[in-house]
Structure 1
Amino acid sequence: MTKNIYIIRHCEAKGQSPDSPLTNKGFIQANELAIFLSEININRIISSPFLRAIQTIKPFAKNNNIKIEKDSRLSERVLSSGIFSDWMAKLKATFNDMDLKYEGGESSNEAKERIVAVVKDIIASDSKNTIIVAHGGIISLLLNTYDENFGFAKWKSLSNPDVYLLTISQTDFNLKRLWKN
C-alpha cells in the first residue's frame, strides 16, 4: 500500500522552548493550514509534544475530529546544552559532518534516526494518509534522508509553516513541497 506522509513544520512561534506558543500570526497561519489541508482524507496525526507544534495542527484536528498523537521522537533536534554565539555556523557544520556532536546535543545522524523511526512506524501501520508535525531542524534531517541535496541552505529556506508530501510505495518514494508562501 502506498503511504502519504504530510510533513509539517510548525507555524510562527514566540520562541524555541518546548512551551513556546504560537504568535498571533502563527494562530492565523494554523487556521490557514487547516483550510489548506481540508480536502485531504487524513487518517492519523502525530506531533512533536512541543506546544507550538500541537497548536499548529489543532484547528485541523478539531475540524476533522482526529486525535493528535504526541511523539517525543518529533521533538526539535538538540544542537547543544550550551549557548553558542555562532550557533548558525555550528549548525551548518553538522550538515557537513553528520556525526559532529556538541556537548549535551545530538549529532545529525542521531536526530535523523529518531524521525526516520517515526516514518518506519507509519509505513508499518494501517494508516494511508498521516500528518507529522515537527520543527525545522529535525524535519530538514528527514528530508535529507530522501533528498541528499536537502542541507543547510534548504533548511534556511523552510518557512513557518511549511508542508512537504512524502509518498512511499514498496518500490519507490517521491518528495514534494506543497506549501507556497
Structure 2
Amino acid sequence: MKHFYLVRHCQAEGQAPDAALTPLGRQQAEALASFFRDIPVQRVIASPYLRARDTAEPLARHFGLTVETDSRLEERVLSSQSMPDWYERLRDTFSDLALCYAGGESSRTAMDRGFSLVQEALLAPCSHTVLVTHGGLLSLLLKQLDDSYGFAEWEALTNPDVYRLSYQEDKWTIKRVWNEVAG
C-alpha cells in the first residue's frame, strides 16, 4: 500500500510565491513535523513557493530528508487579472472544470498537472510520501480522486491541513487526518 499525505502549507504572510510563513506559521510547521513523528515518511516534495518549502523543512529535517521541490505542486492561478468577484468565480471552477479565466488555469489543467506528480510518485519505492502544496491545488487533487470534493471542502481547509491518500489494488481512499489530532 502507498500513502500520500497532501499538506496545505502553514499560515503565511500572503499569496505571492515569496510570501513567508508568519510567526504562527513557523510554530505550525514545527507542530506538523511532530504530527508526522510516528509515520515512516520517506520522501517530502513541496511546491517551490516559499511558504510550502518552509512548511516542509522541519518535517524533512526530522526524518533526515531533503525537501524536493516540484512546480506541479504550485497553486493554481485563477486569473492574471484582478477579479473583485474572485470568490464566486472560483466556486464556478469547481462545477465547470474547463472554465478558464484570462491568464489563469482551468481546474482540469491544474488537476492533471498535480496528479501527474502523484502518478509518477506511485512508481517510486517509497510507501509514505508527503506532498506540501496549496489549498486550491490540494482541493482539486481530492476532486480528481473523488468528485464529491469541491468548493465546500476548499472553504473548510485549514492552515495547515493534512489529507491521507492511500492506494492499494487500483483503489484510492481519502481521509482527512489533521483535525483528528491537531485540529
Moved over 4 A (4+): none
Counterpart code for 1:143: L
Alpha-carbon offset, residue 169 of structure 1: 1.2
Question: What's the Cα RMSD here?
Answer: 0.7
SS in 1 for 2:178: coil
Partner of 1:23: 22
Does residue 170 of structure 1 match 2:138?
no
Tell me how far apart the structure 2 counterparts of residues 52 and 132 of structure 1 sit (CA, whole Å).
13
Counterpart code for 1:84: M
Does residue 156 of structure 1 match 2:158?
no
SS in 2 for 1:133: strand
Tell me how far apart the structure 2 counterparts of residues 176 and 34 of structure 1 sit (CA, whole Å).
19
Tell me how far apart the structure 1 counterparts of residues 108 and 144 of structure 2 sit (CA, whole Å).
10
Q: What are the superposed Cα offsets for residues 36-55 of structure 1, whole Å, 9 maximum, x if unpaired?
A: 01111111111000000011
Matches within 5 A, 1:120-135: 120-135=119-134
SS in 1 for 2:6: strand
SS in 2 for 1:28: helix
Gap runs ≥5 in structure 2:
none
Matches within 5 A, 1:88-167: 88-167=87-166
Q: What are the superposed Cα offsets for residues 7-33 of structure 1, whole Å, 9 maximum, x if unpaired?
A: 100000000000000001100100110
- After TM superposition, the score normalised by the length of structure 1 is 0.98
- After TM superposition, the score normalised by the length of structure 2 is 0.97
Q: What are the superposed Cα offsets for residues 48-105 of structure 1, whole Å, 9 maximum, x if unpaired?
A: 0000001111111112110111000000001011010110011011011100000000
Counterpart code for 1:109: R
Alpha-carbon offset, residue 170 of structure 1: 2.4
Aligned residue pairs, count? 180
Partner of 2:3: 4
Partner of 2:68: 69
How much identity, in percent, do the aligned residues show?
Answer: 44
Tell me how far apart the structure 2 counterparts of residues 99 and 141 of structure 1 sit (CA, whole Å).
13
Q: What are the superposed Cα offsets for residues 76-135 of structure 1, whole Å, 9 maximum, x if unpaired?
A: 001011010110011011011100000000100000001110110011111111000000
Partner of 1:78: 77
Counterpart code for 2:11: E
